[in-house]
Structure 1
Amino acid sequence: MTNLVHMILNFIEAFAFPFFIANYFNIQNKRMFISIVFIIQFTILNIFHFQLTNDFILTIIIILSMIISIYLFTKQLTFNNIFITLLYNCFIYFAAFSVLFINKALTISFQFLFSLDIDFFLFSCFISRILLLLITFLLLRKKLNLSVSFDFKYWSYIIILEFLLLCSMGLIIYSLTINQINNMILMVILICLTLIFILFVLNLYHLNELNKNKIEFEKSQQLRKFELQQINALKNVKHEIDALNHRMFYIYYRMEYLLKTKRYEEAYQLLLSNRKYSSQYHIIVDTKNIVFDCLVSLKINDLIANGMDINLCIFISQSKFYNNLLFINSLLSLFDCLNTHSKLTVHITEKSCFTVIKIFCSDDIISQIDNIEKSILAMSKNYKLFYELDSSSLNHIKISLKRENFENEKDLFVNTE
């Protein structure tokens, strides 16, 4: 009778596993797959029950037989094939452990009702198989996506990690089932946990590398966006220049006609009415530092549009230092402090490992001295620098910043989305 019950339990487990795999992966010839794998696993389960007692080795053989069967029917072996196979074995262990826990709790709490006999153990096994069928049904019914899109070549250690976890769970459940544990089992569990820890650390390093690659990709995307912005800005400038050239050609042609016909008053009025076109031009900074060029050009032209006369002289190398938003924002905030002046002369050059910023104003900067020093103080939090103000007329600012690599590279580029 006991053997018959064990065969029924093995029948349920041997059927549930291939049934889940066939439907989850939508394998062709499902019936054939389920039938063949069922016969193989049912035979293995019965052999181990009647001849051997090592459930740990049984689990390994069951997993290998399933993986080989999947490969023979699908002609491929992917990360998901192995991952889902191992994951379903975790569900089997979960069902067994849940019932085992309930079994222990009931036998301890209600010893006067239950005895630790074989009948109660078989009853618990039936409950575990029903729980396994329920888990299988819910996973397939809800169509839960358990798959992960990993490349087996680079993520094979995840499979090893999952297998070691499965081995540890199997050994623990086996020890609880037979109600005894020896030094050999403890040693194997300890080895598994040690390997799991090592693989976990390797996984962290791998994830860190992926995160770095992601940051590099995002920065490249940001650079591409700024390049497109710069190209669009250049296109707009070209269109404006073409329109201005066309307009100026008409003005010169009209002016020549008015002067030839001695209509001087009309010529003078034409000159006055079109004087504004002579100031409609754009300054484009081109230092090969795309982010710096784009943002500084926009700021300079904005100041010019507000009536400021700016003389600009920039000689700097191509470097990540200048595309850093901390540097650019500091420079632009300095321009904002001086936006009340009618004329600025700006020199940005390099000297050794320092970037030297010189700004000459049309008049003194006494009224803006507080804001200027606040801006320089904020700049000093991110850079090693020293600065000086012209003590005679207070119309000259000189700042020297030391160019260094940035540890916090996430601040290098702005998000334009």
Structure 2
Amino acid sequence: MMELFEIFIIFIESILFSVFITKYFCIVEIRKSIAVSSSLFLISSIVCNLFNTNGIVLGAITLAIAIGTIVYFLKKITFQVIYIPVLYYALIIVTSLLALIIISIVTGISSNQIINNTQYYIYICLLAKFLLCTITGFILYLEVKINFSLTLEKWGILLVKEFILIGCIAIISTGIITNSISLIHLVVILFMLCCVSFLSIFSVYDTNKINEEKLMHEKTLQRLAYQQENVKMIKDLKVDIDAINHRMFYVLEKVKHELEVKNYDKAIGILNDYKQVVIKQDIFVLTNNESFDALFNLKIKEMKMLTDVKCCITISKRDLYDGVHFINGVMSLLNYVSNSEKIDIYISEKVNRVIIKLYFSGFDEIEEDGSYAFIEKAFGFCKSRIVIDLKSEVKSINIVLLNEE
């Protein structure tokens, strides 16, 4: 009688496993997939029962059948094809242990005594399959999907770790149920956990490598965005220059006419007017530091709407200038004096020093002590020397950054 009951339980478990992998992976040939996989599950379980090899051997065979079935019908093997059956097999073990714990708590009897009691053993099996059926139905009804974009080549180690951990769970659960964990079992579990720990080193290395590749990719995308912004600025500047050249032709014609009639004052007035037009044209900085150029040009363009801004930037291409700390420091400095009527900014470099000179006028609401604190905070990412002069009509801020690259 017990033999028939065990076959019935194995049959239920086989059907659940087959239905789960068929529905989860959306296999088109549903009936064929369930029939083939459940039959193989049932046969392998009965054979293992006959030879009393229900532990790791049965687990390995079950996973091999599940993965083989999915690969056969989908014609492909991916990370999910291996990982999802492993997780479901772990769920089978967990529901069995949970059923044992529940029955043990309800009856107040230890696990090894319950296992030796036929009636309680039947209750455990039925409860375990009920829990498994409920969770399986819940997952399939809600269409819960674990979407991975992982590849077997890079993440195969993770699967090996999962297989080892499933083996540990199987050994421990068997020991809990039978109350017979021997020293051999403990040594095997310890060895398996050591393997997991060792494999984790490779996982960390791979994760770090992938993270670095991601950062490089993001930086490349950011650089492309800045380059596109620079191209747009260059095009806008080209339009402005063409307009200047067009106007210059007529200005020169006017000047020529005034000179011919010896109206020198009017000629000089025309030249001065045109000089102011040229001065007000957009400044464009190109240092080949894409991030710095794009953000600096945008900032200057914004400031020129209200302020007379001039700049001279003579720096080479270097990672320092494209770094967020340097850019934020320069932007903060420009914001600090943005209410001035006139601003001149010069940035140059000499050996391992970056020299920033800022001259501004028409803004008296700056205190010397507060300025030192603000600038030290803005350029706190490296050593600096700061000299501030707020007493003159044209105020100045000189900063020397000691670049220790």
If the length of structure 2 is used for normalisation, what is the TM-score? 0.84
Q: Quote the residue 1:213 is aligned against.
A: 213
Q: Quote the residue 1:48 is aligned against.
A: 48
CA contact (8 A) 1:321 1:404 kept: no
Q: How does 1:282-321 map to 2 (within 5 A)?
A: 282-300=282-300, 306=306, 308=308, 310=310, 312-321=311-320
Change (3 A) 1:22 1:336: closer
Paired with 2:353 and 2:156, the residues of 1 have a C-alpha distance of 48
Q: Quote the residue 1:14 is aligned against.
A: 14
Change (3 A) 1:370 1:13: same
Q: CA deviation at 1:227?
A: 1.3
Paired with 2:174 and 2:289, the residues of 1 have a C-alpha distance of 65
Q: CA deviation at 1:263?
A: 9.4
1:370 counterpart letter in structure 2 = D
Q: CA deviation at 1:8?
A: 0.9
Q: Please state if 1:142 is matched with 2:162.
A: no
Paired with 1:99 and 1:177, the residues of 2 have a C-alpha distance of 11
Q: Quote the residue 1:67 is aligned against.
A: 67
SS of the aligned residue for 2:315 comes to coil
1:17-39, Cα deviation, whole Å (9 max, x unpaired): 12221222222433222222222
CA contact (8 A) 1:23 1:140 kept: yes
CA contact (8 A) 2:288 2:317 kept: yes
Q: Quote the residue 2:125 is aligned against.
A: 125
Paired with 2:177 and 2:380, the residues of 1 have a C-alpha distance of 64
Change (3 A) 1:267 1:161: same
2:123 counterpart letter in structure 1 = F
CA contact (8 A) 1:21 1:85 kept: yes
Paired with 2:161 and 2:70, the residues of 1 have a C-alpha distance of 21
1:308-334, Cα deviation, whole Å (9 max, x unpaired): 463x44332210111223223333444
SS of the aligned residue for 1:322 comes to helix
SS of the aligned residue for 1:161 comes to helix
> What stretches of structure 1 of length at least 5 have no aligned partner?
406-417
CA contact (8 A) 2:104 2:110 kept: no
Q: Quote the residue 1:353 is aligned against.
A: 352
CA contact (8 A) 1:13 1:129 kept: yes
Paired with 1:302 and 1:115, the residues of 2 have a C-alpha distance of 79
Question: Which stretch of the first structure deviates more once superposed, 239-248 or 143-152?
Answer: 239-248
SS of the aligned residue for 1:84 comes to helix
Paired with 2:359 and 2:106, the residues of 1 have a C-alpha distance of 88
Paired with 2:265 and 2:351, the residues of 1 have a C-alpha distance of 59
CA contact (8 A) 2:96 2:125 kept: yes
Paired with 1:347 and 1:265, the residues of 2 have a C-alpha distance of 35
Question: Which stretch of the first structure deviates more once superposed, 371-380 or 336-345?
Answer: 336-345
Question: Which stretch of the first structure deviates more once superposed, 257-266 or 20-29?
Answer: 257-266
Q: Quote the residue 2:383 is aligned against.
A: 384
Q: Quote the residue 2:108 is aligned against.
A: 108
> What stretches of structure 2 of length at least 5 have no aligned partner?
none
Paired with 1:7 and 1:278, the residues of 2 have a C-alpha distance of 93
Question: Which stretch of the first structure deviates more once superposed, 68-77 or 175-184?
Answer: 68-77
Q: How does 1:229-378 map to 2 (within 5 A)?
A: 229-253=229-253, 276-300=276-300, 306=306, 308=308, 310=310, 312-335=311-334, 346-359=345-358, 369-378=368-377
Q: CA deviation at 1:244?
A: 3.0
Paired with 1:364 and 1:95, the residues of 2 have a C-alpha distance of 74
CA contact (8 A) 2:307 2:343 kept: no
CA contact (8 A) 1:308 1:344 kept: yes
Paired with 2:77 and 2:366, the residues of 1 have a C-alpha distance of 74
Residue identity over aligned pairs, in percent, reads 27
Q: Quote the residue 1:401 is aligned against.
A: 401
Q: Quote the residue 1:411 is aligned against.
A: none
Change (3 A) 1:256 1:315: closer
Q: CA deviation at 1:360?
A: 5.9
Change (3 A) 1:271 1:186: closer
Q: CA deviation at 1:156?
A: 0.6
Paired with 2:115 and 2:368, the residues of 1 have a C-alpha distance of 90
Change (3 A) 1:367 1:126: closer
Change (3 A) 1:403 1:267: closer
SS of the aligned residue for 1:321 comes to helix
Paired with 1:95 and 1:362, the residues of 2 have a C-alpha distance of 77
Paired with 2:298 and 2:136, the residues of 1 have a C-alpha distance of 62
1:85-137, Cα deviation, whole Å (9 max, x unpaired): 111101211221111111222332699xx995212212221221222222222
Change (3 A) 1:386 1:172: same
SS of the aligned residue for 1:314 comes to strand
Change (3 A) 1:5 1:327: same
Question: Which stretch of the first structure deviates more once superposed, 238-247 or 102-111?
Answer: 102-111
Question: Which stretch of the first structure deviates more once superposed, 291-300 or 6-15?
Answer: 291-300
CA contact (8 A) 1:341 1:361 kept: yes
Q: CA deviation at 1:363?
A: 11
1:320 counterpart letter in structure 2 = D
2:316 counterpart letter in structure 1 = S
Change (3 A) 1:343 1:108: closer
CA contact (8 A) 1:303 1:339 kept: yes
Q: Quote the residue 2:79 is aligned against.
A: 79
Paired with 1:20 and 1:219, the residues of 2 have a C-alpha distance of 42
Q: Quote the residue 2:153 is aligned against.
A: 153
Corresponding residue pairs, total: 402
Q: How does 1:158-177 map to 2 (within 5 A)?
A: 158-177=158-177
SS of the aligned residue for 1:349 comes to strand
1:233-283, Cα deviation, whole Å (9 max, x unpaired): 121122222223333434444565677789999989977876753433222
CA RMSD of aligned residues (A): 3.7
1:234 counterpart letter in structure 2 = I
Q: How does 1:191-230 map to 2 (within 5 A)?
A: 191-230=191-230
Q: Quote the residue 1:413 is aligned against.
A: none
SS of the aligned residue for 2:322 comes to coil
Paired with 1:380 and 1:50, the residues of 2 have a C-alpha distance of 76
